[in-house]
Amino acid sequence: MDFSKLKAESKPTYLPRPAQSMKMNDPDAKVLYQYPKGQFKFPVIPDRERLRRNRQDEQPVRTAGKKQKAEHQKKHETRKKSNSASGEDQRENKLKKIQPSNVPFRPTEIPSPIYGFTRPEKKPTATKEAVESQFENKISILENEPFEIPAIYHKNEGELSEPNPSSEEIETERKETIDKTIPENGVFSEVAVSAQAPVLPADTPETVIAEAGMEMDTKLQTEIDAEFHEDERAVPDGSSFFSAELVDIDTDTEAVQLNAVEENHDYWHEESAPVSVIEERVPVTSGIESDVWDEPIQEQTEKREDVSRKKHIPFNVMMTKQDRDRWIQLQSEASQKKSLFEDEEAGVYENVSTGMQQSETITENRIEAVSDHDEEPPFYAFPSIELLTPPAYAQNDQEWLEEQSQLLNDTLKNFNVRAKVVNVTQGPAVTRFEVQPEPGVKVNKITNLTDDIKLSLAAQDIRMEAPIPGKHTIGIEIPNRKSKPVFLREVLDSEAFKKDRSPLAVALGLDISGQPIVTDLKKMPHGLIAGATGSGKSVCINTMLISLLYKATPQELKLLLIDPKMVELAPYNRIPHLVSPVITDVKAATVALKWAVEEMERRYELFVHAGVRDISRFNELADKAGQYSDKLPFIVVIIDELADLMMMSPADVEEAISRIAQKARACGIHLIVATQRPSVDVITGLIKANIPTRIAFSVSSQVDSRTIIDSGGAEKLLGKGDMLFAENGSSKTVRLQGTFVSDEEIDQVVNHVKNEQAPAYLFEQEELLSKAQVTEETDELFYEACEFAVNQSGASASSLQRRFHVGYNRASRLIEMMERQGILSESRGSKPRDVLISQEELEFILETSGGN
C-alpha cells in the first residue's frame, strides 16, 4: 500500500472498501485517520467564561473557593466528556456545540437519582427571603435546645435582614468577631473561624452554597470535637453530648441547605462568576491578619474546600447508610460518655465496695441486711473441743494379727500360690495384710482366692486391693475382731485439722493406717454421699456439720439444710449459721434450691462488677477496703435424702442441683447430697457428672457401687461408717472409717453455738411454701382468661379452649382457678358459670396483682 498518497489527503477519510474485498475479508485492509487541515478551528471560549478567567488572573491570591470551583469545572467537563460518545460524527457534533451561538444555554436533563425524569416542579430559586427563612428555621431549632446558642447565630439573623453590607462593613465586623473569639494565648478557635462564613451576603445562590459549606464546617468541627476531645467528659450534659445534638440538628439543616443547592443546580453550572466575587472577598476580609492568622484561616478554607468537594458528589440529600451508621455511632458514643460520666459521678469504679453497692440495686442483697455495714464482725467463740467425747484407744491386738498372718500364708501355700504377707496395718475397723507375690505369680491367682481366704480366715467379709496403688503388694482387708469407733474429737484434735485454715475443712475419719483424713469442701467442691440404710450417711453429715461449726463463724458460713426425713438435722435449728430453719418440706426444698441458684447468679453479678473471679478474691478486696459486712459468706447446701426430693419434682430439683453443681464453686456455694438409693433415677447422669467428690458407704450390690464411685467395692464395706472416699474426680478410692458423733455431742456443740449468736434467717419455710403455692397456681393465661370471662359475662372450659387454643386440662384448671379466686361461680351442671365480679373489680385485681 502506498502511504505517500495517503499523506497527501487533506481531510480525514475512511478508505473506501470495495464490496468485493469485504467479502474476501482482506487481512491487509486498514482504517487510517488524519488530523484535519486548513478548515480546522479551535473551540472558542464563550465571552462570559473569558471574562471570568481574566478576573481570576487578576486575582493575586488563590482562595479555597477557587480551588473548589476549578475542581467543580473539571468534574463538569469530565462528565460532559464521558457523556459524549466516541466517533467522528460525535466529535463533529461536539465541535459544533462548543462554537458560540445565540441559542440560550439549556442544561442537559440528567435523571435524578430520586425522581428520575419526573422531578417535582421546581420551586422558585432560593431568594434572599428563602435563605432568611431557612436561617430563621435553624435559629428557632437551636433556640429550642437546652444549650446555649452561639451568639453568632443571632448575629447572622440580623445581618441577613440587612441589604448587602459593604465590604468595609463586613471587614470591620469580621475583625470584631475575630477579636472576640481569639483566646489570649493566641490559639485560634476553630469554631470562631467557622462561624465567619455567614457574614457573607445572602442575596445570591452562591451565598446559599457558601452557607451550606459553613454548615458543613460547623458539622465537621463538632465531629472533630467529638472525636478528638473524647477525654473531655467532665461536663454533666457533656460537650460531647452537645456535639452529638448539634450534629443532629446540623444534619437536618444541612439537608435543607442542600435542597436549596440542588434547586439552584442550574446556577451552579451556568453562572459561576458570582462565586468568584464571594471568593475574592475572603482574602480581603482576611487581609488584616498577620502570620499567626494565616494558618488557621488557611486550614479553615481548606476544610471548606473539602466540604464543598464532598458536597459536589451527592445530589441525593437522603441520609445514606454510612451517614446513618456514623450518626448512630456518634449518638451512641455521646450517650456512652454520658452514662460513663454518671457512673463515675456515682463512684461505681472507685473500689470494690462501691461496686458491690451498685450491684445491690440489681438484686436484693438479703445477706447484707444481716450484718451492719463497715463494722467489725460480731465476736464468735468457737465451741470447745471438750464438748466432744474423747477418743477411744484400742488395745493392741498383736497376737490376733500374727495369727491371721500365719493363716493367710498357709492358705496361699495350700493353693500353690507363691506369695507371703510382708506387712500388716491395723485401722480402726479393718486390718490390711499386704501380700507380695513371688516373680511369675499372676495377681489374679490371688484375687481368685477371695472366697477361699474368707473361708479359711473365717472373716465376715474381705476386700482385696490388687495391687495397692504405688506398691508391689496386694492388699487384703479383713475386718477387725473388735472395731474401734472413731470419735470426732480424735480427728478435730489432729494436726491435720488444726492446721487447715479453710473455714470449710471437715473431718471425715481415719484411713486404714489410722491417719486422720480431713477434706476441704472448697476443694470438693460438691459431694455425693450414698449408701444403704444404716450405713452411716447421716452420721457422716453430722460430723461434717459439727466440724464446720468448729471452723467457721456464722459470718463466714451459711448453711441451707434440707432434711426430708425431718429428724436427722432437726437439732441444728436456730443456730446462727442457718439461712432458714431446717427445711423438711419437699416443695419448700425445691423453692429453696431455686433460691440458691438465684443467689449464685447474684454473686456472679457482684463478681463482674467488682472485677474478680471468685469469692476468696472478692472477700480479700472487701477485707482490704474494711467493708467486712460486704464479705460474702460461703453457703453449704446439704440435702439429706435426695431420693425424696427427686420423687416430688424431679425436673426442678435436677435442674437446680445441676446448675449449682456446674458453676457454684467459684461463688462459694457448695452442695452435699446424700441418698439411700443410688439408682440412676435419683443420681441422674447430669447430677453425677457435676458432683465430682463421692463417698460410698456400704451398698447391697456392685451395680450400686458402680453408680456411686464408678467401680465396685462398696458392696464389700462393713457399714457403720466404713466408707470409700473418692476425692474430686479421682478414680482411686480410699477406705476410711468415718468419724462418729453422738447426739449428746451434737446437742452440746449446737447449744454453745446458739448461745453465741441469734439466728438471722433470710426466709422461713412457710414463705417458701407460699411461694411454691403461687408458682404452682400461676398460669400465664390466667389474667387473660379472667378478662375474657368478664367480657363475655361467663366462661366455660370449652370456650377457653376455643379462645386460647389450649387443651381441656389447662382450660378446666383455669376455670377452677377463677372459681377459687371468686371470679366465676361454681359449676351449675350444663349451664355456663356466672361472672361474680365487675369490669372495675377485674381492673383492680389486675392492677394489684400486676397482671395486665
Ligand X SMILES: Nc1ncnc2c1ncn2[C@@H]1O[C@H](COP(=O)(O)OP(=O)(O)OP(=O)(O)O)[C@@H](O)[C@H]1O
The answer to the question of whether 172 is labelled as a binding residue is no
Locus of grid cell 469485504: 22
The answer to the question of whether 531 is labelled as a binding residue is yes
Cell of 588: 419448700
Tell me the sheet residues that pair with 421.
435
Residue 100 three-state SS: coil
Can you say whether the dihedral through the CA atoms of 311, 314, 318, 322 is positive or negative? negative
By beta-carbon proximity to ligand X, the closer residue of 485 and 581 is 485
Q: Return the beta strands (E) in 375-454 as ranges.
A: 419-426, 430-437
By beta-carbon proximity to ligand X, the closer residue of 376 and 743 is 743
Residue 5 three-state SS: helix
Instruction: Report whether 577 contacts 758 (CB < 8 A).
Output: no
By beta-carbon proximity to ligand X, the closer residue of 281 and 720 is 720
Locus of grid cell 486548513: 38
Q: How far is CA 848 from the centre of its chain?
A: 34
Locus of grid cell 446424700: 674
The answer to the question of whether 466 is labelled as a binding residue is no
By beta-carbon proximity to ligand X, the closer residue of 212 and 512 is 512
By beta-carbon proximity to ligand X, the closer residue of 686 and 734 is 734
> From the CB of 571, what's the least distance to ligand X, in Å?
13
> From the CB of 519, what's the least distance to ligand X, in Å?
15
> From the CB of 408, what's the least distance to ligand X, in Å?
27
Question: Which residues have CB under 8 Å from 321's CB, separation 6+?
Answer: none
Please give the Cα distance from 576 to 839 (Å, whole number): 50
Q: Which helix (H) or strand (E) holds 323?
A: helix 321-346
Give the number of residues written for the chain.
Answer: 852
DSSP string for residues in 103-138: SPP-PPP--BTTTBT-PPPPPPP--HHHHHHHHHHH
Cell of 722: 466404713
By beta-carbon proximity to ligand X, the closer residue of 556 and 641 is 641
Q: What is the 3-state secondary structure (H, E, C) of 765-823?
A: HHHHHHHHHHHHHCCCCHHHHHHHHHHHCCECHHHHHHHHCCCHHHHHHHHHHHHHCCC
> From the CB of 491, what's the least distance to ligand X, in Å?
11
Q: How far is CA 808 from the centre of its chain?
A: 41
Q: 467: cis peptide before it, omega within 30°? A: yes
Q: Which helix (H) or strand (E) holds 520?
A: strand 516-520
The answer to the question of whether 537 is labelled as a binding residue is yes
The answer to the question of whether 812 is labelled as a binding residue is no
> From the CB of 758, what's the least distance to ligand X, in Å?
30
By beta-carbon proximity to ligand X, the closer residue of 86 and 513 is 513
> From the CB of 529, what's the least distance to ligand X, in Å?
9
By beta-carbon proximity to ligand X, the closer residue of 414 and 533 is 533
By beta-carbon proximity to ligand X, the closer residue of 355 and 485 is 485
Question: Which residues have CB under 8 Å from 688's CB, separation 6+?
Answer: 528, 707
DSSP string for residues in 558-618: EEEEE-TTSSSSGGGTT-TTBSSSPB--HHHHHHHHHHHHHHHHHHHHHHHHHT-SSHHHH
Tell me how far CA of residue 379 lies from CA of 387, 510, 804, in angstroms: 20, 33, 60
> From the CB of 590, what's the least distance to ligand X, in Å?
21
> What's phi and psi for 744, nearest 5 deg?
-65, -45
> From the CB of 638, what's the least distance to ligand X, in Å?
13
> From the CB of 531, what's the least distance to ligand X, in Å?
5
By beta-carbon proximity to ligand X, the closer residue of 595 and 740 is 740
Question: Which residues have CB under 8 Å from 190's CB, separation 6+?
Answer: 221, 224, 296, 299, 300
By beta-carbon proximity to ligand X, the closer residue of 176 and 744 is 744
HSE toward the beta carbon, residue 509, CA cutoff 13 A: 31
> From the CB of 483, what's the least distance to ligand X, in Å?
8
By beta-carbon proximity to ligand X, the closer residue of 195 and 749 is 749
The site for ligand X (CB under 6 A) is made up of: 485, 531, 533-539, 676, 720-721, 738, 740
Task: Tell me which residue has its CB nearest to ligand X.
Answer: 721
Residue 517 three-state SS: strand
Angle of CA points 284, 286, 287, to nearest 5°: 60
Instruction: Give residue 673's region: left, alpha or beta (phi > 0; psi -120 to 50).
Output: beta
> From the CB of 723, what's the least distance to ligand X, in Å?
8
By beta-carbon proximity to ligand X, the closer residue of 320 and 533 is 533
> From the CB of 738, what's the least distance to ligand X, in Å?
4
Q: Which 8-state DSSP code applies to residue 212?
A: H
The answer to the question of whether 532 is labelled as a binding residue is yes
By beta-carbon proximity to ligand X, the closer residue of 565 and 663 is 565
By beta-carbon proximity to ligand X, the closer residue of 212 and 723 is 723
Tell me how far CA of residue 93 lies from CA of 78, 85, 89, 184, 605, in angstroms: 17, 10, 6, 63, 77
Tell me the sheet residues that pair with 831.
828
Q: How far is CA 394 from the centre of its chain?
A: 60
Rounded CA Rg of the chain: 47
Tell me how far CA of residue 467 lies from CA of 169, 440, 450, 475, 694, in angstroms: 109, 15, 14, 7, 22
Cell of 653: 430439683
> From the CB of 562, what's the least distance to ligand X, in Å?
14
> From the CB of 653, what's the least distance to ligand X, in Å?
18
Let me know how many helices (H) and strands (E) the chain has, helices first: 35, 14
> From the CB of 743, what's the least distance to ligand X, in Å?
9
Instruction: Report whether 552 contacts 503 (CB < 8 A).
Output: yes
Please give the Cα distance from 235 to 249 (Å, whole number): 21
Please give the annotated binding residues, written as ranges. 531-538
Please give the annotated binding residues for ATP, written as ranges. 531-538
